């Protein structure tokens, strides 16, 4: 244990200076640090993120430069920049919500859906975002959430609201069917049927837990 002659206190850990007065400590080193080491994913995988950032910058710079040299092809470099931005937004969201997988899945559904709609609008609106992307993303999200909850043995309270949010989001496809904006019906029908089954299962078998969770969330 080290000792500070100025403050007259013992200091645990491998510090060289006193945390109070910053004077040089004297004594033997201590192997155990008094403060726990906190792990940060961005620090632990810093090299990976730096490489990803460098690759993104290279791709963006080269695409913009080539687009300037070949202007007759249109502003295609903007789509590459948008794609890179979409990847980073999705990746950062996944990392920040990594400790809560159900919430992470819901966030990814929302982000991917918004990005798909924006891309569809930027490319002249062909309707592929609401016809294929959103229904299939919602479908796989509900299936993934059900499987993960069983495999990881999560408590119902930990994921019940997220399943309901995803299920309700999937039912939005009914609006697209009646407005006639879809180029194919089967993806939306698959999504709607899955949403109905998912919501019905929760309401029938987990009604009490759902009510308790809603009251807890709304502080009722």
Residue 199: the pLDDT is 93
pLDDT at 36: 54
Nearest CA to 191 among 129, 142, 125, 126? 142
Task: Check residue 50 and give its pLDDT.
Answer: 86
196, 188 Cβ separation under 8 angstroms:
no
Cβ neighbors of 132 (< 8 A, separation 6 or more) are 184, 187
Whole-model pTM? Answer: 0.67
**pLDDT, position 170:** 92
- CA distance readout (Å), 116 to 20, 63, 72, 111, 142: 54, 21, 26, 9, 19
What confidence score (pLDDT) does residue 193 get?
Answer: 95
At 211 the pLDDT is 85
- The DSSP symbol for 45 reads T
Backbone angles phi, psi at 132, to 5 degrees: -115, -50
Residue by residue, pLDDT tens for the chain (220 residues) are 687 888 888 877 777 788 778 788 887 655 555 555 555 555 666 787 888 889 999 999 999 999 999 888 777 788 788 778 877 876 777 677 667 888 888 888 898 899 889 888 988 899 999 999 999 999 998 988 888 888 778 788 788 888 899 899 999 999 999 998 898 999 999 999 999 999 999 889 988 888 887 888 776 6
Predicted local distance difference test score (pLDDT) of residue 147: 84
């Amino acid at each position: 244990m080290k000792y500070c002659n100025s403050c007259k206190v013992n200091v645990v850990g491998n510090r060289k200076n006193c945390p109070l007065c910053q004077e040089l400590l004297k004594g033997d080193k201590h192997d155990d640090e008094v403060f726990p080491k906190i792990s940060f994913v961005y620090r632990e995988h810093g090299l990976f993120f730096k490489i990803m950032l460098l690759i993104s910058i290279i791709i963006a710079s080269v695409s913009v430069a080539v687009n300037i040299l070949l202007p007759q092809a249109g502003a295609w470099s903007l789509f590459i920049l948008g794609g890179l931005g979409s990847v980073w937004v999705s990746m950062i969201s996944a990392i920040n919500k990594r400790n809560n997988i159900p919430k992470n899945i819901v966030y990814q559904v929302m982000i991917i859906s918004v990005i798909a709609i924006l891309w569809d609008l930027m490319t002249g609106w062909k309707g592929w975002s609401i016809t294929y992307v959103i229904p299939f993303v919602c479908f796989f999200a509900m299936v993934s959430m059900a499987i993960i909850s069983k495999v990881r043995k999560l408590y119902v309270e930990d994921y019940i609201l997220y399943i309901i949010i995803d299920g309700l989001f999937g039912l939005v496809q009914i609006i697209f069917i009646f407005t006639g904006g879809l180029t194919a019906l089967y993806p939306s029908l698959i999504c709607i049927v899955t949403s109905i089954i998912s919501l019905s299962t929760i309401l029938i078998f987990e009604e009490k837990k759902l009510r308790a969770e809603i009251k807890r969330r709304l502080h009722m």
